[in-house]
Amino acid sequence: MEIWPGEAYPLGATYDGNGTNFAIYSEVAEKVELCLFDDQGTESRVELTEVDGYVWHGYVPHVIPGHRYGYRVHGPYDTANGHRCNPNKLLLDPYAKAVEGEIDWDQSLFSYNWGDENSFNELDSAEHAMKGIVVNPFFDWAGDRKPRTPYHQSVIYEAHVKGLTEMHPDVPEELRGTYAGVAHPSVIAHLQKLGITALELMPVHQFVNDSTLQDKGLSNYWGYNTIGFFAPHNKYSSTGDAGQQVQEFKAMVKALHMAGIEVILDVVYNHTAEGNHMGPTLSMRGIDNHAYYRLEEKDKRYYTDYTGTGNSINVRNPHAIQLLMDSLRYWAIEMRVDGFRFDLASTLAREFYDVDKLSTFFELIQQDPVISQVKLIAEPWDIGPGGYQVGNFPPQWTEWNGKYRDTVRDFWRGERSSLGEFASRISGSADLYEHSSRRPVASINFVTAHDGFTLRDLVSYNEKHNDANGESNNDGESHNRSWNSGVEGPTDDPEVLAIRARQQRNFIATLLLSQGVPMICHGDELGRTQNGNNNGYAQDSELTWINWEHADGPLQEFTAAVAKLRAEHPTFRRRRFFDGRQVEMEDGVELPDVLWFSADGKSMTNEAWDANTPASVGMFLNGRGIHSTDLRGQPIEDKSFLLYFNAHFEDVTFTLPSDKFADKWDIVVDTAGTGADTEALNEGATVTLASRSMMVLREHEEVPVETDHSVAASLAAMAGSVSQTPERSS
């Protein structure tokens, strides 16, 4: 086979219209063979003899998109020193931009013989291994424009490609569960109705299904088991054509961008699917194990594991770091995604032992002209010592705020002594982020995510019900900070159903009206249930997919209306933390930017904050001084708001503040529905909050009905509904 010297950069397989350049890094290799496969699976091998800076490379004319390939690396198999080369194993290119097939966990995929980890397996793995695909890099992006939505205007929707679309009745059956399904107009219309500005997709990098799950008839549904950092997962493509998943993914991004929706990827750069020392040899393990993986200093046969998955990427090695950075730039530039959410991000900061926010990984991102300008979201923890790092990531990062989740859950389930922290969390968590010169948008606020109960289950179960996972209900979090509203699981009790419906509205309204960036977990606005399973990672079934036909319509409408309220009022999406500064009102009176009230209408005292009782509190948000623009770009000044929260099991009557705050107030949100027909309330009047409910009042404005932007009527009517999706027995 004809081969030319080619170039050492870029790494991977790069088609230029005439042929393909192949380049792969391995410092430990003694010989590298490029393996090309025709349509019948026949393998042809060609040695890469050109080596520059440990990059083995060559250019093969007439190799075009759709061609399958892999590598065989000859070198030491010396596990005691961390080397695991085995040329009998076909290896997936770490830079492969598309992947064909999936592994079947055949014995040949392992470099040792089962039952003897010190042996050497000479079985050839080519028939059982995944293969890289040369892709067509050209795509018609004409008309595409990244939305570049500012953080303070963002509403994020976390979703799974398959779970979002597999049961959608308006998506054609052949497109369900695919990138094309996500791009379907009916799915996009739903996101737009909710005011979603960014779709955060659970892992779409090529991943591997675990053998332990397959043996149980289950699968790795979530996808946190990456093997290809450049390739869109092939099972999410609606076509079986080799390499077409790249084109389909790009088309999805383009469609979402046209709708004003950004695409954020949940990326797993902390480990790979090759697992621990007993795992298969699929890619990097056989290419240069010592370079790509973090090994135990005292015995390099074993892998350092900060992730609970068997291995950790070696972020101390410049070539491993290059792999991650090249992957990020590829997705941002070539695939045009708008940001990344980093799974177990603390692992990426462990250059030595402790988490170090000055590590090489963060320094590289800081200076990178591309990656430093996209949305960067950290899951700020891992399972290693000192791994919980909420509030400690560098200034340009935002974080999943786990403390927000825990505190808001505690508050609404009536946990005592949570009031002070609740106030801090809904006002932007300045205690976590202000010290590093960050702003409220550093806090990605969430109540639920893929990991844990759905919102419906959060108010329906006290205990996890994970028996379907085949681990005797031992997997998943046991401390969920949930409350079942009086009955565990499905019920026909109308009082319990009313409480559950109200609690879901409480969580949604709190989330959307807190300072920071709200993130909704897919299907929560539709009443999605997993029947109490809080660890659906292995459940690729109707248990985890959104059941669109059983959607909770009133809850969906409520969510959309509160999101609209947030979008219309910059008071709920401040760009700076509250600092107590005085703002002049219309009559010359000066009031602080935020003030907290007890039920009697007076400012909260230290004793009230510290009271060990079920919580209720009022919050004044001063809209004066919060300037924005309308749709025509004209400057507008926002109105002030009162937010009342009552987590007590009894009704609480609040006295509205004096007229220096406002003469009249309109109820615009009432999660209990009791304020549906209430006229404007005068200063000093009283308003009764039903037990476990939330109410939002806006400074009164005399406007004609036809131009009133208030969502009060629809919110109140929907809040009065106790309808839910049909209760399904677990």
Instruction: Specify whether the CB–CB gap between 294 and 303 falls below 8 A.
Output: yes
Instruction: Encode burial over 386-408: b for 16+ CB neighbours within 10 A, e otherwise.
Output: ebbbbbbbbeebbbbbbbbbbbb
Distances in Å between the Cα of 472 and the Cα atoms of 219, 469, 532 are 17, 8, 14
Question: How many CA atoms lie within 13 Å of 362's alpha carbon, on the beta-carbon side?
Answer: 21
Question: How many CA atoms lie within 13 Å of 508's alpha carbon, on the beta-carbon side?
Answer: 37
Question: How many CA atoms lie within 13 Å of 543's alpha carbon, on the beta-carbon side?
Answer: 23
Bridge partners of 517, per DSSP, are 444
Distances in Å between the Cα of 198 and the Cα atoms of 11, 157, 176, 285, 330 are 31, 6, 21, 35, 19
Residues annotated as part of the active site: 343, 379
Place of tokens 């010359």: 588
Q: How far, in Å, CA of 496 to CA of 484, rounded?
A: 9
Q: How far, in Å, CA of 86 to CA of 90, rounded?
A: 9
Cα-to-chain-centroid distance, residue 435: 25
Instruction: Specify whether the CB–CB gap between 464 and 533 falls below 8 A.
Output: yes
CA atoms 166, 168, 171, 172: torsion sign: positive
Per-residue tokens: 651: 């009704």
∠ CA 585-657-670, rounded to 5°: 105
Cis peptide before 10 (omega within 30 of 0): yes
Bridge partners of 55, per DSSP, are 25, 52
DSSP 387-415: ---TT-S-TT-EEE-HHHHHHHHHHHTT-
